[in-house]
């Protein structure tokens, strides 16, 4: 079935109209480096949405910048006796609606601009799903795959110690992100608790369940993605049966989304990982692939699908494409080649602002990151609530509440898009900015 024919004429016309009213004024001479700078992307979308909302000049200035940006240099004794100094960041974008919330990323290419963008996206994401947090993000420039557990532990503890005055259950609550996991959160929680002379479980989320983590948190982002896909199909009048899905990234978000979609009856035809792609037109058995990955340590070599080029795979025909790996994978260089009907952003910032316009032109229905992957922070909110109550829900209860919030948020964003005649991404930004600005105005300005 050709992708074009899946787009009803009225939708195509609406998409064109919305493109006209929602095209961000991208400078024609913008370099690829500028196009893929996440902070510039965040700023451009924020400016556009704020203008559409007629946000007053003062509020625009306040919300455009993060509240606080911290740079730390962390000395770590390495296993071979050397001392290495790592650079780390914590950016807090907004505390208007509650404490800051956001992950900590360990990767060689972490930069202040990336952490700034991710912190701002957290503010908008928490507001889209209407949970009482502002946004933050942290990161350390390092390669966690080349470090021992001991080195990672010492680096994490020293980073946490440097952040002591800035984090806390009522201030800023870190969580795992790319390159960090529940063990990292256990070290952060323990370090913070040792300084406070008492156990403070609610200082981080994404902890092991045995020490105050929430059931369902590990799968929550992928589960949220699958809930958003269900609603998108219903909204567009498309059936689950025969719905072909291609997923980029088979990590936490991608593999859990794949498993849940597979169980719901979607046909997951493609998986793209950085070291190889898999394609099976009849559908990949995701449970078999998970078993293979556990044994082989990679999706490569799986017998139940054909090996294909992972970059080419994401441009193949499908109903839903889910980028769930990293930023800037859909850009001016490949957006025109996409043949999906729906783009559901599991990753943060996978699409550049130039690509946004190309996708709108093609009539692709975009489910923006600040809606589609918000299941993770929603379950983190549940974890924080449970830690503070000292009473823990079973997994069914967590999933029930997650479904309610994701479903309501989908409908909020879609209604906003229709009412304001903008695309889904700008609608999500407008809804979020509106909610944050309303509270910021009510609180007034401390001077
Ligand atoms: P992860 O490290 O568990 O998984 C990422 C996977 O993508 C890895 O398997 C990696 O090999 C693969 N990958 C990396 N670059 C790739 C590329 N260029 N092509 C193909 N595959 C590639 O990370 P994650 O937690 O699943 O996060 C993925 C994305 O989702 C990130 O953008 C993250 O910020 C975002 N996110 C995660 C959560 C969460 O709860 N984990 C919540 C919201 C958003």
* Whether the predicted pLDDT of 13 surpasses 50: no
Task: Work out the angle at residue 255's Cα, subtended by the Cα atoms of residues 253 and 257, and round it to the nearest 5 degrees.
Answer: 65
Domains and CATH numbers, the chain: 65-207 (3.40.50.10860)
For residues 135-155, give the mean pLDDT: 98
Task: Work out the angle at residue 381's Cα, subtended by the Cα atoms of residues 100 and 165, and round it to the nearest 5 degrees.
Answer: 30
206 CA: nearest ligand 1 atom: 40
**Ligand 1 cavity residues, CB under 6 Å:** 177-178, 221, 248-254, 272-274, 310, 324-326, 346-348, 373, 376
Residue 30, pLDDT score: 84
Contact 256, 268 (CB under 8 A): no
Mean of all residue pLDDT scores within the chain: 94
- Closest residue by CA, ligand 1 atom 22: 274
Active site residue 137: yes
Query: Cα separation of 62 and 397, whole Å?
Result: 38
H-helix segments, 109-216 = 112-128, 149-162, 182-196
The band of 343, judged by pLDDT with boundaries at 50, 70 and 90, is very high
Residue 28, pLDDT score: 62
- pTM flag (> 0.75): yes
Residue 335, pLDDT score: 98
Residue 156, pLDDT score: 98
Distances (CA, A) of 103 to 134, 206, 263, 400: 12, 9, 29, 24
Residue 337, pLDDT score: 98
Distance 299 CA to ligand 1 centre (A): 15
Distances (CA, A) of 279 to 2, 58, 286, 342, 427: 18, 51, 12, 19, 34
- Closest residue by CA, ligand 1 atom 36: 347
Residue 447, pLDDT score: 82
Block residue for tokens 């930004």: 429
Contact 409, 374 (CB under 8 A): yes
Q: Select which of 137, 207, 259, 362 is catalytic.
A: 137
User: Phi/psi of residue 439, each to 5°?
Assistant: -70, -40
For residues 127-134, give the mean pLDDT: 98
Contact 208, 184 (CB under 8 A): no
For residues 87-93, give the mean pLDDT: 98
Query: Cα separation of 335 and 352, whole Å?
Result: 9
* Whether the predicted pLDDT of 217 surpasses 60: yes
Distance 346 CA to ligand 1 centre (A): 8
- Spell out the residues 6+ positions from residue 118 whose beta carbon is closer than 8 angstroms to its own: 38, 91, 102, 103, 105, 137, 139, 177, 348, 349
Span 107-128, pLDDT tens digits: 999 999 999 999 999 999 999 9
Task: Work out the angle at residue 400's Cα, subtended by the Cα atoms of residues 395 and 402, and round it to the nearest 5 degrees.
Answer: 95
* Whether the predicted pLDDT of 12 surpasses 80: no
Distance 445 CA to ligand 1 centre (A): 38
Query: Cα separation of 339 and 2, whole Å?
Result: 8
User: Phi/psi of residue 310, each to 5°?
Assistant: -65, -30
- Give the three-state DSSP class for 71: strand
Mutate which of 107, 114, 143, 178 to test ligand 1's pocket (most atoms within 8 Å of Cβ)?
A: 178
Query: Cα separation of 152 and 435, whole Å?
Result: 38
Contact 59, 138 (CB under 8 A): no
Distance 139 CA to ligand 1 centre (A): 15
Contact 206, 104 (CB under 8 A): no
Residue 363, pLDDT score: 96
Span 437-446, pLDDT tens digits: 999 999 999 9
Residue 427, pLDDT score: 98
Quickly count: other Cβ atoms within 10 Å of residue 38's Cβ: 21
Query: Cα separation of 120 and 100, whole Å?
Result: 10
Q: For the chain, what percent of residues have pLDDT higher than 90? A: 92
Q: Which two tokens stand for residue 182?
A: 């529940």
Sign of CA dihedral 421, 424, 427, 431: positive
Nearest to 175 by CA among 329, 387, 3, 350: 387
Q: What does 217-282 look like in DSSP terms, one character per residue?
A: HHHHHHHHHHHHHHHHHHHHT--STT-EEEEE--SHHHHHHHHHHHHHT-EEEEEEETTEEEE-TT
For residues 373-400, give the mean pLDDT: 98
- Closest residue by CA, ligand 1 atom 10: 249
Mutate which of 252, 297, 328 to test ligand 1's pocket (most atoms within 8 Å of Cβ)?
A: 252
- Give the three-state DSSP class for 396: helix
105 CA: nearest ligand 1 atom: 34
* Whether the predicted pLDDT of 22 surpasses 50: no
- Closest residue by CA, ligand 1 atom 31: 347
249 CA: nearest ligand 1 atom: 7
Q: Which two tokens stand for residue 352?
A: 């550049």
Residue 24, pLDDT score: 53
Residue 209, pLDDT score: 97
DSSP class of 214: P
217 CA: nearest ligand 1 atom: 40
Distance 175 CA to ligand 1 centre (A): 15
Which residues are paired to 365 by β-bridges? 342
The band of 18, judged by pLDDT with boundaries at 50, 70 and 90, is very low
* Whether the predicted pLDDT of 431 surpasses 70: yes
Nearest to 385 by CA among 217, 215, 214: 214
For residues 119-138, give the mean pLDDT: 98
Span 270-320, pLDDT tens digits: 999 999 999 999 999 999 999 999 999 999 999 999 999 999 999 999 999
For residues 20-32, give the mean pLDDT: 62
The band of 74, judged by pLDDT with boundaries at 50, 70 and 90, is very high
Mutate which of 42, 257, 325, 368 to test ligand 1's pocket (most atoms within 8 Å of Cβ)?
A: 325
């Amino acid at each position: 079935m050709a992708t074009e024919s899946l787009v009803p004429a009225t939708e195509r016309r609406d998409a064109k109209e919305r493109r006209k009213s929602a095209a961000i004024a991208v400078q024609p001479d913008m370099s690829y480096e500028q196009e893929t700078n996440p902070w510039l992307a965040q700023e451009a979308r924020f400016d556009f949405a704020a203008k559409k909302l007629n946000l007053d000049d003062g509020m625009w200035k306040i919300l455009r910048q993060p509240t606080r940006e911290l740079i730390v240099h962390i000395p770590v004794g390495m296993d071979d006796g050397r001392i290495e100094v790592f650079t780390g960041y914590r950016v807090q974008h907004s505390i208007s609606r509650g404490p800051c919330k956001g992950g900590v990323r360990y990767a060689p290419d972490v930069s202040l601009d990336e952490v700034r963008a991710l912190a701002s996206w957290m503010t908008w994401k928490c507001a889209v799903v209407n949970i009482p947090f502002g946004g933050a993000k942290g990161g350390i420039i390092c390669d966690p795959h080349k470090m021992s557990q001991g080195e990672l532990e010492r680096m994490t503890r020293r980073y946490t110690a440097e952040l002591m005055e800035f984090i806390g259950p009522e201030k800023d609550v870190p969580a795992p992100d790319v390159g960090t996991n529940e063990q990292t959160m256990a070290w952060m929680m323990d370090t913070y608790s040792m300084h406070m002379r008492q156990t403070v479980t609610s200082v981080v989320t994404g902890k092991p369940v045995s020490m105050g983590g929430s059931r369902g948190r590990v799968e929550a982002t992928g589960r949220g993605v699958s809930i958003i896909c269900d609603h998108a199909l219903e909204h567009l009048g498309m059936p689950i049966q025969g719905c072909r899905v291609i997923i980029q990234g088979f990590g936490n978000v991608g593999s859990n989304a794949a498993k849940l979609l597979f169980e719901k009856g979607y046909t997951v035809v493609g998986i793209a990982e950085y070291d190889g792609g898999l394609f099976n037109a009849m559908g990949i058995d995701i449970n078999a692939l998970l078993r293979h990955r556990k044994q082989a340590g990679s999706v490569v070599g799986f017998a139940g699908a054909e090996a294909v080029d992972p970059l080419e795979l994401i441009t193949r025909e499908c109903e839903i494409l889910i980028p769930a790996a990293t930023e800037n994978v859909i850009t001016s260089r490949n957006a025109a080649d996409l043949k999906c009907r729906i783009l559901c952003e599991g990753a943060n910032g996978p699409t550049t602002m130039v690509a946004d316009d190309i996708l709108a032109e093609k009539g692709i229905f975009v489910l923006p990151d600040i809606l589609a992957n918000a299941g993770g922070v929603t379950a983190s909110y549940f974890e924080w609530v449970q830690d503070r109550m000292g009473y823990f829900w079973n997994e069914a209860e967590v999933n029930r509440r997650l479904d309610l919030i994701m479903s309501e948020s989908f409908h909020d964003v879609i209604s906003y898009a229709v009412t304001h005649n903008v695309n889904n991404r700008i609608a999500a930004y407008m809804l979020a900015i509106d909610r944050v600005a309303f509270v910021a105005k009510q609180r007034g300005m401390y001077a």
